[in-house]
């Protein structure tokens, strides 16, 4: 159905789990994939009489996110209770920052079809996550409180987005900005980044906004786009049939491509917000903000500009190297250790990415190090090994071996000594008189038949560049 007679308004709320050592309000450790209910304590269980303590690192991470998203950090903030009951939340409330969020008035720039647009960020809250329910085939539901209390930032965007494609571009830009602060893995597949989308449509020219529908817990950017596209069509159909839309929370079913009603939307009154009595208000002074600023890594856009303008890389190379913070950091460190930038980029984009894909690993999970990659590249650059030999050395460094020592142990050095190579070359010329005549007669290709025997005599270890130079000198000497 065409929706050309309507305009769409989209606002996104994104939850990002913070990569802290402990939880937002308790000393329980934070680690993904731990045995169920292992990382919990009496505060997470909601025992009466226990007192929470705010995680300073989570607040600092919130400040770093605010700085990366061009937001104003709130100097005085306090905590609030958001009351609701779920089996995975034994306290029956969530500690959040409803009335004094850690930051307000941020923005992000997106680009869709070549057009740039600034999208506002209303506010950001530091809060705690709920646990996780699993509904098993045995008819029982299981509660895991490991996630209960994990620190989050909730990033509430302005309803500035007009199309599902703009929503997709916003999420990509937001993920990149947060990832390059280093405060979160932003892995949707592990739940460290989750999206709620609000969408409404209205007839073009109408001054009254349409009824807002929320799509809850979307776990891929593609599902966000598809869910919003379905909602545009569904809501337009209801409008055109004269039906009234009701404010709802819906979920996207990826198997059918449709959205399904979950519940009639709660309002803020339903949560009975009130100030958290067990936590004191917090003052964020300028010195603390400056400390957070100094911990911020360089943003992806800054690095791309450096790679292209200062290191001479192509835009594609710069784009691929900044797809993850780990890859960009690895590249920076490799170059700082003396590796040629273009060759380092080629290895990371080609061989390293292929290796990671084959092992289904992230870079930080491997034994690869910037030092070993830089040393291997330097061995190529100074002629110690050929690019063909480097394939063997690369496999060794993925297994944690140091390249210089590996080359020594396996006698992989290229043979470049003229004192050794020249007698071999003259011997080959003596045995291939017709090829010598052909070369001296102007047939450059004749050298190919002469270089082959040299490589065979040296078991492939001869330096091709040196052999080629010496071969030409020897041939010219016979002219």
What does the alpha-carbon distance between residue 419 and residue 403 come to, in Å, rounded to a whole number? 27
Domains of the chain, first to last: 6-283 (no CATH), 298-410 (no CATH), 418-477 (1.10.10.410)
- When pLDDT is cut at 50, 70 and 90, the band that residue 92 belongs to is very high
Mean pLDDT of 19-38: 93
What does the alpha-carbon distance between residue 188 and residue 461 come to, in Å, rounded to a whole number? 48
The answer to whether residue 3 scores a pLDDT higher than 80 is no
- Closest Cα to residue 245, out of 197, 217, 212, 223? 212
Give pLDDT, residue 314: 97
What does the alpha-carbon distance between residue 340 and residue 337 come to, in Å, rounded to a whole number? 9
Instruction: Say what the pTM is.
Output: 0.85
- Closest Cα to residue 224, out of 201, 250, 206? 250
Mean pLDDT of the chain, nearest integer: 92
The answer to whether residue 470 scores a pLDDT higher than 70 is yes
Say if CB 23 and CB 149 are below 8 A apart. Answer: yes
Question: pLDDT tens across 238-282, in order?
Answer: 988 988 888 899 999 999 999 999 887 566 667 889 999 999 999
Give pLDDT, residue 1: 52
Question: pLDDT tens across 48-80, in order?
Answer: 999 999 999 999 999 999 999 999 999 999 999
In angstroms and rounded to an integer, the radius of gyration of the C-alpha atoms of the chain is 31
Question: pLDDT tens across 98-125, in order?
Answer: 999 999 999 999 999 999 999 999 999 9
What does the alpha-carbon distance between residue 220 and residue 175 come to, in Å, rounded to a whole number? 12
Cα 72 to its chain centre, rounded Å, is 25
Tell how strand 72-73 and strand 103-112 pair up. Answer: antiparallel
443 vs 195, residue with greater confidence: 195
Give pLDDT, residue 24: 95
Question: pLDDT tens across 270-320, in order?
Answer: 788 999 999 999 999 999 999 999 999 999 999 999 999 999 999 999 999
Phi, psi angle pair for 36, to nearest 5°:
-50, 135
- Closest Cα to residue 232, out of 172, 169, 166? 166
How would you class 347 by CB atoms within 10 Å of its CB: exposed for 0-12, middle for 13-18, buried for 19 or more?
buried
Say if CB 184 and CB 178 are below 8 A apart. Answer: yes
The answer to whether residue 150 scores a pLDDT higher than 90 is yes
Mean pLDDT of 175-201: 93
Tokens in use for 385? 């090994």
- When pLDDT is cut at 50, 70 and 90, the band that residue 208 belongs to is confident
Cα 237 to its chain centre, rounded Å, is 38
Give the other-Cβ count within 10 Å of 22's Cβ.
18
């Amino acid at each position: 159905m065409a929706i050309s007679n309507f305009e769409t308004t989209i606002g996104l709320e994104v939850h990002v789990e913070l990569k802290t050592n402990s939880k937002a309000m308790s000393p329980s450790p934070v680690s993904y994939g731990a045995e169920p209910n292992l990382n919990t304590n009496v505060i997470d269980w909601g025992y009466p009489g226990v007192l929470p303590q705010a995680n300073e690192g989570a607040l600092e991470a919130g400040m770093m996110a605010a700085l990366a998203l061009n937001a104003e950090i709130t100097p005085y903030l306090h905590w609030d209770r958001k009351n609701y009951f779920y089996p995975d939340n034994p306290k029956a409330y969530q500690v959040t920052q409803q009335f004094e969020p850690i930051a307000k008035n941020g923005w992000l720039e997106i680009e869709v079809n070549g057009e740039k647009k600034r999208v506002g960020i209303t506010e950001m809250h530091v809060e705690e996550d709920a646990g996780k329910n699993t509904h098993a085939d045995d008819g029982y539901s299981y509660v895991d409180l490991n996630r209960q209390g994990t620190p989050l930032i909730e990033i509430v965007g302005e309803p500035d987005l007009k199309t599902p494609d703009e929503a997709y571009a916003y999420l990509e830009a937001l993920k990149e900005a947060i990832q390059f602060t280093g405060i979160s893995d932003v892995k949707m597949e592990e739940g460290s980044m989750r999206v709620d989308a609000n969408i409404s449509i209205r007839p073009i020219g109408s001054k009254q906004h349409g009824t807002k529908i929320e799509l809850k817990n979307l776990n891929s950017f593609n599902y966000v786009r598809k869910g919003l596209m379905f909602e545009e069509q569904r809501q337009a159909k209801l409008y055109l049939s004269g039906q009234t839309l009701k404010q709802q929370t819906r979920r996207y079913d990826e198997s059918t491509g449709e959205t399904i009603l979950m519940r009639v939307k709660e309002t803020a009154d339903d949560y009975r917000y009130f100030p958290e009595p067990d936590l004191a208000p917090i003052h964020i002074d300028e010195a603390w903000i400056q400390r957070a600023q100094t911990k911020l890594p360089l943003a992806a856009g800054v690095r791309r500009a450096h790679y292209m303008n200062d290191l001479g890389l192509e835009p594609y190379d710069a784009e691929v190297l900044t797809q993850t913070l780990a890859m960009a950091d690895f590249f920076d460190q490799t170059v700082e250790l003396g590796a040629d930038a273009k060759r380092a980029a080629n290895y990371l984009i080609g061989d390293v990415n292929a290796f990671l894909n084959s092992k289904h690993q992230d870079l930080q999970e491997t034994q690869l190090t910037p030092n070993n990659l830089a040393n291997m590249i330097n061995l190529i650059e100074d002629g110690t090994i050929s690019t063909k030999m480097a394939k063997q050395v690369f496999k060794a460094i993925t297994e944690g071996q140091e390249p210089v020592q590996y080359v020594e142990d396996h006698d992989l050095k290229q043979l470049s000594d003229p004192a050794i190579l020249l007698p071999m070359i003259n011997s080959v010329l003596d045995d291939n008189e017709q090829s010598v005549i052909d070369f001296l007669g102007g047939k450059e290709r004749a050298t190919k038949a002469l270089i082959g025997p040299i490589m065979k005599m040296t078991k492939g270890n001869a330096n091709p560049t040196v052999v080629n130079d010496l071969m030409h000198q020897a041939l010219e000497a016979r002219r």
